[in-house]
Amino acid sequence: MTAQDGSLPLEGLVVADFSRVLAGPLATMTLADLGATVIKVERPGSGDDTRSWGPPFSATGSTYFESVNRNKQSLCLDLGSEEDRGLARELARRADILVENFKPGGMERLGLGYEELAAENPGLIYASISGFGTAGGAGLMGYDFVVQALGGLMSITGESDGPAMKAGVALVDVLTAKDATLGILAALTARHRHGRGAHLEVNLLSSLQGALANQAQAYLGAGVVPGRMGNDHPSIAPYQLLNCADGPLAVACGNDTQFARLAGLLGLDPLATDSRFATNTARVTHRQELTRQLESVLATDTAAAWQQAFSAAGIPAGRVCGIDEGIAYAEELGLEPTIDVQDATGATVGRQVRHPISWTPSFPARTQAPPLLGEHSERLREWLRS
């Protein structure tokens, strides 16, 4: 069934979720948002590590855990128990997709490796997520913070004269989750053609380096090792924060036409024909002087006022907002950035960022709150034994 008949795109698919923390759970939540039945396997008593990560905590639990575990069912299994391992294998036999982020070799030692499971369920799509792959990095523990350091992201994040900095969110985990989801959906399409499943391997380091884009290619194509530049762009100017009367404004001029508009709006028309600023390459070379001239005018009004003027003139710009303001702005634009989630009784228990894709024809959003630990264990155990 597809979205065209009113159902969710992945309705009818079963996902065995043996993952925890962020990358795996975000991938499986994406599948759940799109209609798959996701059964989250958790340790009895403690569950996913992130259930205890806080503050902050909402009225129902850790906000970290809640951010990536809605629309799932929680099944507590003790994988050290032969009986529960048998239930885990039965779940894998019934699943279309399995996602795991055990340390490489961990699932194999439990009798839950791909080869063993695929022998009984040849259509299984089995996604393994690790920190550094299954070769030389198999013994390394994959935490986003460490991968940001080792993979080069920290080296280009922060002020030029300051220390290396991580991104403000576990960005590598998020990127890896999206890569894993993409691979799973591609494998589903391939299975539809030839009936076979697949084993996908995704690792945090490769996902990070795949996302370095122009920065990685600067090194590979030109031998340039990028460094930290604060909010400046290595190849475009002005593409940075510029100070206004009350704070900074993000300004992004992607071409000479936009810059000419900017110069005219600020009453600095000669800059558009000045040899130091007429082309992007020249502006990058003379960025400091350009910044000084632009900020001398921007200092006469507020960031919000300049944002409004720039937007009206077709110049990309925006003041620096908090997350609360960012969500409010998305609401102003009619993007409907959040959904209310409900518990098993149908009572609203919180608000979350919705799945970011909008569909035409549309289908109802799934709004089941993240599960309590073991909330569905009894029913699921009965199902697996039947």
Give the residue numbers marked as catalytic: 173
Long-range contacts of 258-267 (CB under 8 A, 24+ apart): 258/314, 258/315, 258/316, 259/283, 261/313, 261/314, 261/315, 262/238, 262/294, 262/310, 262/313, 262/315, 265/309, 265/310, 265/313, 265/315, 266/294, 266/297, 266/298, 267/297
**Residue type for position 296:** S
* Residue spans of alpha helices (H) in 223-269: 256-265
For 46, the token pair is 């403690």
How far is the C-alpha of 310 from the C-alpha of 316, rounded, in Å?
7
Q: How is 279-295 classified by DSSP, letter by letter?
A: SHHHHHHTHHHHHHHHH
Contact 169, 19 (CB under 8 A): no
Contact 367, 347 (CB under 8 A): no
Q: What is the DSSP pairing of strand 125-130 with strand 198-203?
A: parallel
**Residue type for position 206:** S
Contact 353, 338 (CB under 8 A): yes
- Residue 251 has φ and ψ, to the nearest 5°, of -120, 130
Q: In angstroms, how far is the first alpha carbon of the chain from the final one?
A: 26
Q: Which of 145, 216, 205, 134 is nearest to 175 (CA)?
A: 205
As beta bridge partners, residue 39 has 16, 73
How far is the C-alpha of 67 from the C-alpha of 65, rounded, in Å?
5
**Residue type for position 237:** A
Angle formed at CA 42 by CA 39 and CA 47, multiple of 5 degrees: 135
Q: How is 29-88 classified by DSSP, letter by letter?
A: HHHHHTT-EEEEEE-TTT-SGGGG--S-B-SSSBHHHHTT-TTEEEEE--TTSHHHHHHH
